[in-house]
Structure 1
C-alpha cells in the first residue's frame, strides 16, 4: 500500500501516482494484462495472464514474452491499437485459448507519441455470464459474413461473360473459320491477340473465348486502354496501396489484374498503351506477379490475357511506337476478324439478330427488311462494320412506322458519315515487288539495334539487355539466331 504521508504535492506527481494506482488496481482485478512496446513486442504479462499460456500453446513465460504479439495471440488487434493510436475499449476476442472480453489502450510518452499498448482481459469465458450479448454478437457476425459472401458472389456474377462464341453471328466461310479458331484457342491459356477494324466484334469474341475456356467460372475483367488517361493507367492495372499518395483510399484499391485473378483480362485497344507502361505489362505477363502502386509487396496472380486492337501493331513495332518483345508476347494466338464488307453473305442474319435486339430495347415491333433493302445493304462499304450496320438499322426502325423497311426507309447520310475504306491502288501505282516484307524489316531492325548495343557496352550482354530494355533471356534467344553478333 502507498503511505498517504508520502503523496507528492505537485500535479505531475499526483498524475503519476494515479496512473500507478490504476495500474495496480487493474492488475489485481482483471483476469490478465499484457504490455507491448512500439514494435508490437510483448514486454510484460501479469500473473493472471500466465494461466492463458497453455491454451495459446506455450509452457513458459520466457517463450512468450519478447515475441511480437501477432505471432503468439491469434486474432489480436493490439498491433492495430499501436499503429493507429486509437483505443478499443470493449471487444470480444476468440482464439484457441477461448473467448474473452478485452480492452486495449495505447500508451503514450509525455510528448504524446505512442510508445506501446496495454491489453486487459476483463472477463474470461464471458459466454457463461453474458449469454444474450454473446448471442447477439454471433448473429451480427453471421449476418456480416453472409453479406460479404453475397457481395463477393454479386461481383463475380457482374463479371461473367455476356456472350458465347455462338453469339458471333455468321454462317459464311469467313465467320465459320473464325469461330473454329476461337474454339481452338479457348482450350489454351496462352495470350490471344484479336486484330480487326473497329466494329467487327472483337469484344464479343473475347467474351466468347472466355466462356468456352476452363476459366469460364472465373471473372472476366475488361479495360479500354484508350478510354483511361495515361497518368491513371498504372493504378488501373495494378491497384493502389493504402495511403500511396495524398488523396488515395486509406484501404487501398485493387487493380484490374487483381480483380481478374483466376479468370481473364481483356485489354481493348492495346495499341494505345503508352511505351512507359508496356515494359511493366510485359513483366506481369511473363512472371504473373506485380506490385501495387506505392507498395513493396509482390502479389502473384493467375490471369489469362486477351488483347485487341484496330491498329497495325507490326507497323508500330517497326516505327518504334510499340515494344517488339511485348508484341511477341501478345501475338501468340492471333485472330483476324474480317470486316463486314468481306462477309456480306452474313448481312441478312446480322440484320435479323440486330433487329430483334432493337425491338426488345425500344419496346417497338420488330421491323422486317424487303429483298430490295437487303440487296441495297449488301452493296454498301460499311467502314464502321457491324456497329455502323446496327446504327443504320436502329435509325430506320425508330423513324419509320412501316413494319417492312424498304430502300426508301434508310437515310443515305447515315452511311456517308464515315469515310469509305481505302481501295487498293491501281496496278501501275502499286509498290514494286522487290520491297522487303515487313517481318524481314523488323528482324533487320532488331539485329541492327542489338549490334549497336553490344558495341556500346563492349560486348557486355547484361548491360546491352538493359540498354535495349529487354530481358537477358530475350537477348540470348536472339543471339542464338545471329551467332556472329555474340562473337563480335
Structure 2
C-alpha cells in the first residue's frame, strides 16, 4: 500500500474524538443513545456501558437530542443547563442516504467562560459575516413565479390570468385578499414576469415597522440626521429597489403622515432622505397589498383618497381558499413536497377522508393555515399517510361518548337519556376557543390588531404573542 493511503483503524476514532476535546453523543430516531464517548461520560458522572441503550433524556439532563432526531432541525450554539452550569451545545440531524436516522450532539464549551474567550478571538469575523449577510439579503431576488401559484378553480384562474397580463405594465398594482391568501407570492410573480425582473424585488411589511422608523426605513437618512445615525447615512428601501419593484404589504396600516410622503414619491418619482436637503430620483414600480377595506377606510378618513386612487390603478383580488373549490388538494400536494424537504421525508400522502375534511373546512387563515395544519400532521405522523387522527383537534372527526343524564318525573327507573359529548383535552378546548375569539375580534376590528386587543381587553404585546402562537397574521 502506498504511503498516505493507509486507512485509519476503527478503534483510533474514539481516541481522536477525545483528543479533539469534544463531548459527543449519538442517538437514533427514538432518542436512544447508540454512541457516547468516555469524555462525555466522565463529565456526566456515568460510564459508556451504563449510557448505551438508554433514552438520552435519562442520561443527559435537559437534553433535546430526541427532539432534533424527530424534527431534523439542527440547533447550533445552544445554551444547555447541566450539573449547575451551562454548556454550549451543537445538535445536528444525522442524515444517511437522504434519510433522517438520528442525531449527533457535541459540547464544545464546558462553561460560559470558555465561550467568551473563544468569542473574543472571532468577534471581528462575526461582525464581518453579519455585514455581508445583511448586504446579501438586501440584494435578494424575487423567488416566486406564476408556475408556483397553484390552483385550477375558476376564481383563482381568472385572477392569475389577470396578474400575468398586467405584469408587463409599469402601473401601480393593488393586491387585495385575506391574510394567508398569497399576496406576496402574486407580487413576486408579477415582478418576475415583468421587464424589471433582472432588478431588485424589495418587500416591506408596513405593519411590522414601528411608525417612528418607517420613514427612515423607506427613504433612508443622511449623515447626522439624528442621534445614533450611522456615519455616512443609510440608503432606504426605495433606493435599494431602484429600477425594480417595491412591495408594500399591509399598506392599510401605514400612518397618514407617511401616506402623504408616499404619495409624493408616486407623483414626483423621487425621495427625500430623513435629514436630507436634496431629493433623489428613483425608478420603482409599486405593488401594494392589504387585507383591509381601503374604500371604507377612505370614507372614515383613515386612508388618503388621492393615494388610494394612485395605488388602485390595477386591482388584483385574490379569492379566499374556501371559495376555491377543487384547489385545496392541489395546494396540499405542493405544500407536502415543500414540507418533505424540511422533515427529510418522502412519499407522504393524504387519505380520502382527510381530503374530504380539508375541503369542508372554512380556512379562515387560508393557505397559511393549511400549511400549518399539514406541518402539524407530519410532526405526529408515523407512516406515510396522513389520516384524520393526525389532524389538529379542531379539524378531526371528534369521537363521541354516551354520558347518562339523570331525569326525574316520567322516566322509568333505570332509564337514562344519553347525549353525545366531544372528548378532547381541556387545554385543546381552551386553545380552540381562544383562537376563535381572536379571529372574531380581528373581524370586528376590520383587521386592526390594536382595536382587536382593546375589544378583548388585553394588552397589545400579549395580543401579538397570542397571534404568533396561533399563526394568525
Same fold (TM over 0.5): yes
1:303 aligns with 2:284: yes
Closer, same or farther in 2 for the Cα pair 1:356/1:171, shift >3 Å?
same
Report deviation, 1:414: 6.5
Closer, same or farther in 2 for the Cα pair 1:324/1:396, shift >3 Å?
same
Report deviation, 1:412: 2.4
1:292 to 235, 258, 273: 273
1:220 to 176, 201, 221: 201
Report deviation, 1:279: 0.5
Counterpart in the other structure of 1:381: 362
SS of 1:392's equivalent in the other structure is helix
1:330 to 311, 317, 330: 311
Counterpart in the other structure of 1:280: 261
Task: Give TM-score scaled by structure 1 length.
Answer: 0.54
1:235 aligns with 2:216: yes
Q: Cα RMSD (Å) of the superposition?
A: 2.4
CA contact (8 A) 2:357 2:395 kept: no
CA contact (8 A) 2:271 2:280 kept: yes
C-alpha distance in 2, partners of 1:265/1:211? Answer: 12
1:258 to 239, 243, 248: 239
Counterpart in the other structure of 1:317: 298
SS of 2:202's equivalent in the other structure is strand
Report deviation, 1:179: 1.1
C-alpha distance in 2, partners of 1:216/1:404? Answer: 40
Per-residue CA shift, 1:317-367, capped at 9, x if unaligned?
000000000000000001000000000310111000000111101212342
C-alpha distance in 1, partners of 2:140/2:184? Answer: 14
Counterpart in the other structure of 1:201: 182
C-alpha distance in 1, partners of 2:229/2:395? Answer: 45
C-alpha distance in 1, partners of 2:343/2:280? Answer: 46
* Equivalent residue runs for 1:142-221 within 5 Å: 155=136, 158-221=139-202
Larger helix percent: 1
Counterpart in the other structure of 2:251: 270
C-alpha distance in 2, partners of 1:421/1:156? Answer: 33
Closer, same or farther in 2 for the Cα pair 1:316/1:338, shift >3 Å?
same
Any stretches of 5+ residues in structure 2 without a counterpart? 1-131, 397-431, 441-473
Count of matched residue pairs? 274
C-alpha distance in 2, partners of 1:365/1:419? Answer: 37
Per-residue CA shift, 1:41-85, capped at 9, x if unaligned?
xxxxxxxxxxxxxxxxxxxxxxxxxxxxxxxxxxxxxxxxxxxxx
C-alpha distance in 2, partners of 1:414/1:263? Answer: 42
C-alpha distance in 1, partners of 2:196/2:310? Answer: 20
C-alpha distance in 2, partners of 1:239/1:215? Answer: 22
